[in-house]
Structure 1
Amino acid sequence: MKNNKYYKYQLGIIVLSGIVESIIAILQRFSFLESNHSLFSVTGTFANPGPLGGFLAICLVVSVGLYIGRNSFGLIGTLVCLIIFVGLLLTDSRAGWIAAMSGILFLLKNKIHLSWKRKCMLSMVLLFVCVVMYLHKKVSADGRLLIWYCTMDMIADKPFLGYGSNGWIANYMYYQAKFFEEHPNSDYAMVADNAAYPYNEFLWIWTEYGIIGLVLVVGLIYWGIAYKSHNRYAYTFRATLVCFTVFACFSYPFHLLLSDTPQRMDIAAQNSFMNDPPEKALEVMEEAAKIIPTCELFCDMGDTYRKLNQYKKAEQCYQLATNMIPSRITPKYKLFVLYKDSGDSLSAVKIANEIMTMKIKIEGSHALKMKGLVRMYLLEH
């Protein structure tokens, strides 16, 4: 009996937190409160809407679980679920929506007995919903598909032992560069960017800790979901774990608990590039490239090698940056300037033609200026 009261209290705290976060999200949506991100109107108390979506998905599953246990929702129960549902809807988090649906279906599976025909119909409806969610933000979804594909390439190279702690972020961009080097005309070029997360925590665990780490984590989660208990609230906890697991397949909840060492190293490299002598800056940037390689970092490294008259290394850095994110014009332009200034007009013309025909994700004034300078060069050659 005491355990029931304790678990009910814990679940109640989760629901109350969900109500508070949902109200904050609603107020942010209508501009009564500011969000915590310049690009998103709704973040709750989180840094962006992604984690908020996962949290509200869990809160919605818990609130549904509590009132299913009573066999009656009532006015208050309906209102609570509605508020959290609206908050989840405002996050625009597809991972959160899918996770919430999964948890609620887990709660209902012993409450509603369906014939095989209705199960087939339900499966078709869920498949349709997933397709709609994919098309809702197709560019974002394709970006994650690219990350998963390159991550699987990483796993294929070290499936058993993995790359160790922070191994994914230290190696991923090299694999993305390799992908575009091998597939220069890929449609994924327009959705590629610097990747900070694999958007699938199980692929991440496999990449860093190998198959042994993955089996241990999956086994622990399976034990938690399959564990039988006489506690009346145990089923709700299991549904919450289902919700969290599904969310982890499309987002990065584990990463919210991790150290920010790679990001701090990236900032240190940027500061060193702007303020330190070239030799010192190169030391810092080369160390950063082992921890968090990015397109911008290799552009800066290329610029630094140019200052030291090491043109071959500068070329390699610019080329690697170009392969990492093919839709960025800056690395290609830097490569063009390098060839032009070093008197390699043949290579300069070749890369200039590539710049004039390339697809650019964001064609702002900076990109237009670079294209204008390239066009003038081509007219003269």
Structure 2
Amino acid sequence: MLNNFSFTSKKGVVLIQAFLFLVLVLACLNNPLISQWSALPNVYLFFFISLLFSVPILILELNDSKKRLNLIDLGVVFFFLFLIIHIIWNIGNGNLFLNDSLLSLSFILIMYFPFKYLIKHNYSSVVQVFILIFDIHLILGAVQFFYSYLNGLDISLTVSGSFRHSGIFSIYLASFLPIRFNMAKNKLDSIFSYWNIFLLSFILLLVLATQSRAGLFLYCISLIFLFRTYIKSFYSKSRYKVILLTATIIFSTALITTLIYLKVPSALGRLFIWQNSFEMFWQKPILGWGSGGFEKSYLDQQATYFKNNLSSDAYKYKMVADSVSSPLNEYLKILVDHGIMGIFCLAITIRIIWKFSKNIHNKNEYSFFFTLTLILLSAFVYFTFQSTTIFLVLLLCLAYISSGESELNLYVTINKSVTLLIKGLLFILCSLLFYYSLEQYNATARWKKAINHMESHPEISLKVYKEISNELNHRPAFNYNYGVTLFQYGRYPESVKIFEDLRNKFVTLDVMLYLGKSYQAVKQYNNAEKIFKDASFMVPNRFIPKYNLFRLYHEIKDFKKADAVAQEILTMPVKISSNEVDSIKNEVKKMLIK
């Protein structure tokens, strides 16, 4: 039946495009990030539909014995071979968990060969759906913009499309521009048409509304790409080339300087994060800290810096330090987590992609390479690789780039025995992924119900938490929520165990504070004191760690230490005024008077 299905027929193309549209909609709505999910079982719907979309097309692809492969194709194949080995290894060691990021990447990359198959049979079939998703995001951004404006909300936070983060949304808009204008089905001949000028202006408005410097910078680069023919012609005919080039350099320098100056504290904060991240890299330069190493160890590194530095630079950084789970630089994160070996593998991948760019002669294909380049550039200043939608755009670009004729292509013929083996491995892999995702979906659905019924049936809900802890123990959001719930209902010894385990996996300021309060509740005062002190160094501009330490000293009647901490609280500079800070200062003053 599959063999008789035609992708070249109008009905076939429409059906496949409708299915792909559903896949992308589910990804955009339910999976803004590839990991760190909360009690949202809907994130798994994208996985199920992705599998349902990909498997039939993969079978059709395997039925063709003649294959044209290249290094990008082989890289995707090796990823899935690694995944199979990883799953078998975990099962052998009694570990039935898959890293959430690895799970997401599996369901994204499984669409790579289906994309290539569809491109081969109908060149524009896949990208038209992505363009439709892009246009829907423009409409959604417009609605968010006007709604925020009319209701007096912060536009820079609410204009975020389906990404739930305005910075990532602006990067998506700016990076996809080359594809949007070069591949639109009914595009007008001239970039200077009224419609195109309106569209570019409207996208600029949305990018400016997000106040994202990276988005604005990428937008300017996209404009250069779109108008490159006119710019090249203008420079070649002008008699004032030196003056124009000088003016361009001055303008570019001024733009970059202005973008930094617009948010000096933000820029300073990033520099501080990068400085500490490089320090972590030098501690373990070869293989890094392991997967999730940054999330587990960064705040400890930040605390070490403030403990050992009392210079003016340290004081300056105190006001911009924060509890972060990303270095805002994906390459630096790879360097911290996987060391030189990780960066080496990434460099090889980028080198392979660059080789393909030299074989691009079609203007449309070059737009995919340029979008890919913009996304890779954005990863220097954002957590770009954590966005599911942007990862799907990356996959789209790779599929188109590797679909063309190239000297890097390898033509092979696969016999029936090998085809049968590949189909068998595909069946095993897809079955394992489906079963695991279904188990996770059911456990997450029960977690959500437990949260909803906690107030009315706390004992039953806590029992559910315990039952699903084996399935969701690998997820930091679940452990944190479970630990907080145990603490709120007075189950302090159990909350200590949960937060101690989480302390070794995923460290945030909130995790530290609840661990300290749990220690205090079971009268492990020395441990509580150490945790609160560490927390106060991790994010030294926050009042709450010192406040908890102050209350601890009062509880154990160590008034000398309590008075010393109180003086620190009262003399601390305020980063952002709030009712919480005012309340803490007032309470400390009252207790000092007593």
Give the TM-score band, short-chain normalised: 0.7 to 0.9
Match of 2:171 among 32, 40, 54: 54
C-alpha separation between the residues in 1 aligned to 2:544 and 2:386?
30
C-alpha separation between the residues in 2 aligned to 1:95 and 1:213?
25
Whether the aligned pair in 2 keeps the contact of 1:265 and 1:292 (CA below 8 Å) is no
* Corresponding residue number in structure 1 for 2:159: 42
Q: Report the Cα offset of residue 222 of structure 1.
A: 3.9
2:503 counterpart of 1:289? yes
User: What SS does structure 2 have at the residue aligned with 1:243?
Assistant: helix
Which amino acid letter does the alignment assign opposite residue 518 of structure 2?
T
* Corresponding residue number in structure 2 for 1:312: 526
Match of 1:92 among 189, 211, 217: 211
C-alpha separation between the residues in 2 aligned to 1:251 and 1:30?
26
- For residues 284-338 of structure 1, what are the alpha-carbon distances to aligned partners after superposition, in whole Å with 9 as ceiling and x for unaligned? 0011111211112222211221222221111101001101111111111111222
Whether the aligned pair in 1 keeps the contact of 2:119 and 2:126 (CA below 8 Å) is no
Match of 1:233 among 337, 357, 364: 364
What pairs up with 1:58-207 in 2 under 5 angstroms? 58-65=175-182, 72-105=191-224, 112-113=231-232, 115=241, 118-184=244-310, 185-207=314-336
2:175 counterpart of 1:26? no
- For residues 218-261 of structure 1, what are the alpha-carbon distances to aligned partners after superposition, in whole Å with 9 as ceiling and x for unaligned? 33224324522233322211211121011111111211249993
Which amino acid letter does the alignment assign opposite residue 534 of structure 2?
L
C-alpha separation between the residues in 1 aligned to 2:529 and 2:191?
68
Question: 1:335–1:148: structure 2 CA closer, same or farther, 3 Å change rule?
Answer: same
Whether the aligned pair in 2 keeps the contact of 1:163 and 1:207 (CA below 8 Å) is yes
Gaps of 5+ in 2: 1-117, 236-240, 392-471
Q: Report the Cα offset of residue 15 of structure 1.
A: 3.9
Whether the aligned pair in 1 keeps the contact of 2:328 and 2:381 (CA below 8 Å) is yes
Q: Report the Cα offset of residue 203 of structure 1.
A: 0.5
TM-score (norm 2): 0.58
* Corresponding residue number in structure 1 for 2:133: 17
Q: Report the Cα offset of residue 21 of structure 1.
A: 1.3
2:382 counterpart of 1:263? no
Of residues 255-264 and 21-30 in structure 1, the stretch that sits farther from structure 2 once superposed is 255-264
User: What SS does structure 2 have at the residue aligned with 1:363?
Assistant: coil
C-alpha separation between the residues in 1 aligned to 2:349 and 2:244?
32
* Corresponding residue number in structure 2 for 1:242: 373
Which amino acid letter does the alignment assign opposite residue 337 of structure 2?
E
Which amino acid letter does the alignment assign opposite residue 368 of structure 2?
F
Q: Report the Cα offset of residue 57 of structure 1.
A: 1.0
2:559 counterpart of 1:345? yes
Which amino acid letter does the alignment assign opposite residue 57 of structure 1?
A
* Corresponding residue number in structure 2 for 1:224: 353
Question: 1:6–1:209: structure 2 CA closer, same or farther, 3 Å change rule?
Answer: farther
Whether the aligned pair in 2 keeps the contact of 1:102 and 1:246 (CA below 8 Å) is no
Whether the aligned pair in 2 keeps the contact of 1:265 and 1:291 (CA below 8 Å) is no
C-alpha separation between the residues in 2 aligned to 1:298 and 1:330?
11
C-alpha separation between the residues in 1 aligned to 2:323 and 2:170?
23
Of residues 172-181 and 335-344 in structure 1, the stretch that sits farther from structure 2 once superposed is 335-344
Match of 2:337 among 208, 213, 219: 208
Which amino acid letter does the alignment assign opposite residue 201 of structure 1?
E
Q: Which has the higher contact order (CA 8 A, sep 6+)?
A: 2
Of residues 113-122 and 86-95 in structure 1, the stretch that sits farther from structure 2 once superposed is 113-122
C-alpha separation between the residues in 2 aligned to 1:5 and 1:70?
26
C-alpha separation between the residues in 2 aligned to 1:315 and 1:283?
17
C-alpha separation between the residues in 2 aligned to 1:273 and 1:57?
45
Which amino acid letter does the alignment assign opposite residue 201 of structure 2?
L
C-alpha separation between the residues in 1 aligned to 2:121 and 2:378?
28
User: What SS does structure 2 have at the residue aligned with 1:164?
Assistant: coil
C-alpha separation between the residues in 2 aligned to 1:272 and 1:146?
35
- For residues 108-153 of structure 1, what are the alpha-carbon distances to aligned partners after superposition, in whole Å with 9 as ceiling and x for unaligned? 6676455465434323222211221122223322222222122111
Of residues 256-265 and 349-358 in structure 1, the stretch that sits farther from structure 2 once superposed is 256-265
Whether the aligned pair in 2 keeps the contact of 1:25 and 1:87 (CA below 8 Å) is yes
Question: 1:130–1:77: structure 2 CA closer, same or farther, 3 Å change rule?
Answer: same
Q: Report the Cα offset of residue 3 of structure 1.
A: 7.0
Of residues 113-122 and 284-293 in structure 1, the stretch that sits farther from structure 2 once superposed is 113-122
Structure of greater Rg: 2
Question: 1:250–1:24: structure 2 CA closer, same or farther, 3 Å change rule?
Answer: same
Q: Report the Cα offset of residue 271 of structure 1.
A: 2.3
Which amino acid letter does the alignment assign opposite residue 208 of structure 1?
D
Whether the aligned pair in 2 keeps the contact of 1:19 and 1:83 (CA below 8 Å) is no
Whether the aligned pair in 1 keeps the contact of 2:145 and 2:155 (CA below 8 Å) is no
Q: Report the Cα offset of residue 5 of structure 1.
A: 9.8
C-alpha separation between the residues in 1 aligned to 2:552 and 2:156?
35
Whether the aligned pair in 2 keeps the contact of 1:306 and 1:314 (CA below 8 Å) is yes
C-alpha separation between the residues in 2 aligned to 1:24 and 1:75?
22
Question: 1:154–1:251: structure 2 CA closer, same or farther, 3 Å change rule?
Answer: same
C-alpha separation between the residues in 2 aligned to 1:84 and 1:8?
23
Q: Report the Cα offset of residue 183 of structure 1.
A: 3.0
Which amino acid letter does the alignment assign opposite residue 167 of structure 2?
G
Whether the aligned pair in 1 keeps the contact of 2:171 and 2:215 (CA below 8 Å) is yes
Q: Report the Cα offset of residue 204 of structure 1.
A: 0.8
User: What SS does structure 2 have at the residue aligned with 1:230?
Assistant: coil
Task: List 4+ stretches of structure 1 deviating above 6 A.
Answer: 2-5
Of residues 111-120 and 366-375 in structure 1, the stretch that sits farther from structure 2 once superposed is 111-120
Whether the aligned pair in 2 keeps the contact of 1:305 and 1:313 (CA below 8 Å) is yes
Gaps of 5+ in 1: none
- For residues 42-100 of structure 1, what are the alpha-carbon distances to aligned partners after superposition, in whole Å with 9 as ceiling and x for unaligned? 12122121221121012223345559996654333333333333332322222222223
Report percent identity of matched pairs.
Answer: 27
C-alpha separation between the residues in 1 aligned to 2:354 and 2:190?
22
